[in-house]
């Protein structure tokens, strides 16, 4: 193990990708003993332990090997920062200032999380590191995956007194849609099914989707009287077993919620009843994509074993799917001279 700088985060090369890129892992340690491990591959969060020595206090679902990481990226974007545009774009097409752009498609005929070679598949450079933070940077050239403009993105992980935060930012030299987010997965029981967790989401509205997981023409709808009413804590297993057609279509919940308020605020609370552990998710994004591990089938093997349906939960603060093409959605175009920013905080207790 070597030091990134004299006072930098300890780092080590843990292997190479299938195309020969070395992967570095950085370990951040808090005075409390909590430990966060992140990779330069995908600017990914792979492990957070409440007690750095005890695997039974692992809060993230991740992988300890490069092979596992690559399988996890391909099987669900595990741990990575996704972009240039997180979530889906219908047909991989959008129009800015009267010019239509076509970007790479990787989910049927649509674009998911930036396309075939999105930011999750890249090696990010290291700008700085210390015992409690590391900052990554990625330059996406003009035309990358079809997106216009050169985009320079940064992802800064930092330890908090009770968890960790991710500060994301981007600048561009041409108008381009931007939405970055973290696609890490959690399981507060440190393994096994997460269906006994309860989830509360601070949202009065959710987004019904069509057969391609794109917004229905009607747009946002009230959560009242639906399985998506998570305003009070709901056992996840109960929500995903609903007979509602929207739940059946995606084998659970994989939907976007319109979060109440704006600015940095609590967006969701996840609780594991046996251990009493609680995750408070804080973010400044307008929406939250909730994915309950619906399509995990045991073929991915994490540090805690094979990942079956519902063994990992992704709570992704972002914008609604296909926002570049939805009149009701907010503006997601970043322009030269402006900076796009977003912050996510994971606060743990118990």
Give residue-wise pLDDT tens across range 13-40.
999 999 999 999 999 999 999 999 999 9
Q: Write the pLDDT tens digit of every residue in 218-245.
A: 999 999 999 999 999 999 999 999 999 9
The topology under which CATH files domain 184-335 is Beta-galactosidase; Chain A, domain 5 (2.70.98)
225 C-beta neighbours (distance < 10 Å), count: 7
121, 316, 320, 345: the active-site residue = 316
Percentage of the chain exceeding pLDDT 90: 97
Please report which confidence band the pLDDT of residue 9 belongs to, taking 50, 70 and 90 as the band edges: confident
Annotated catalytic, 183? yes
Residue holding tokens 């930011």?
A: 119
11, 70, 113, 183: the active-site residue = 183
Same fold, 2-63+79-87+97-175 and 184-335: yes
What residue segments make up the domains of the chain, in order of their start?
A: 2-63+79-87+97-175, 184-335
Give the mean pLDDT of the chain. Answer: 96
- Is the pLDDT confidence value at 7 over 60? yes
Residues 6+ apart with CB under 8 A from 168: 81, 153, 154, 155, 156, 180, 181, 341, 342, 343, 344
- Is the pLDDT confidence value at 3 over 90? no
Instruction: DSSP letter for 90, please.
Output: G
Average pLDDT over residues 104-121: 97
Residue holding tokens 């507060």?
A: 188
Please report which confidence band the pLDDT of residue 8 belongs to, taking 50, 70 and 90 as the band edges: confident
pLDDT at 304: 87
Cβ–Cβ < 8 Å for 287, 259? yes
pLDDT at 166: 99
Average pLDDT over residues 72-100: 97
Annotated catalytic, 150? no
Q: What is the CATH number of domain 2-63+79-87+97-175?
A: 2.70.98.10
Cβ–Cβ < 8 Å for 233, 271? yes
Upstream peptide bond of 84 is cis (omega within 30 degrees of 0): yes
């Amino acid at each position: 193990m070597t030091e990134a700088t004299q006072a930098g985060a300890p780092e080590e090369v843990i292997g190479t990708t299938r195309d020969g890129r070395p992967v570095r892992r950085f370990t951040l340690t808090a005075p409390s003993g909590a430990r966060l491990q992140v990779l330069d591959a995908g600017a990914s969060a792979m492990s957070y332990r409440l007690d750095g020595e005890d695997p039974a206090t692992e809060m993230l679902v991740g992988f300890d090997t490069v092979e596992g990481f690559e399988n996890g990226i391909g099987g669900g974007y595990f741990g990575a920062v996704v972009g240039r545009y997180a979530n889906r774009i219908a047909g991989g097409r959008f129009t800015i200032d009267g010019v239509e752009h076509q970007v790479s498609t990787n989910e049927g005929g649509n674009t998911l999380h930036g396309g075939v070679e999105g930011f999750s598949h890249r090696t990010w450079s290291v700008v700085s590191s210390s015992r409690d933070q590391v900052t990554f940077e990625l330059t996406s050239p003009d035309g990358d995956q079809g997106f216009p403009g050169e985009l320079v993105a940064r992802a800064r992980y930092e330890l908090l007194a009770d968890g960790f935060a991710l500060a994301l930012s981007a600048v561009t030299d041409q108008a381009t849609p931007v939405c970055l987010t973290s696609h890490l997965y959690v399981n507060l029981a440190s393994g096994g099914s997460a269906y006994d967790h309860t989830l509360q989401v601070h949202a009065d509205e959710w987004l019904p989707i069509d057969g391609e997981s794109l917004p229905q023409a009607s747009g946002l709808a009230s959560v009242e009287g639906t399985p998506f009413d998570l305003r009070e804590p709901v056992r996840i297993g109960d929500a995903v077993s609903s007979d509602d057609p929207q739940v059946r279509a995606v084998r659970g919940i994989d939907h976007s919620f319109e979060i109440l308020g704006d600015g940095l605020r609590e967006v969701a609370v996840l609780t594991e009843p046996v251990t009493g552990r609680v995750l408070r998710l804080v973010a400044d994004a307008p929406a939250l994509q909730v994915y309950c591990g619906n399509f995990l089938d045991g073929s991915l093997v994490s540090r805690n074993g094979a990942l079956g349906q519902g063994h990992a939960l992704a709570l992704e603060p972002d914008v609604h799917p296909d926002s570049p093409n939805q009149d009701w959605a907010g503006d997601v175009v970043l322009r030269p001279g402006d900076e796009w920013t977003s912050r996510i905080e994971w606060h743990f207790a118990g």
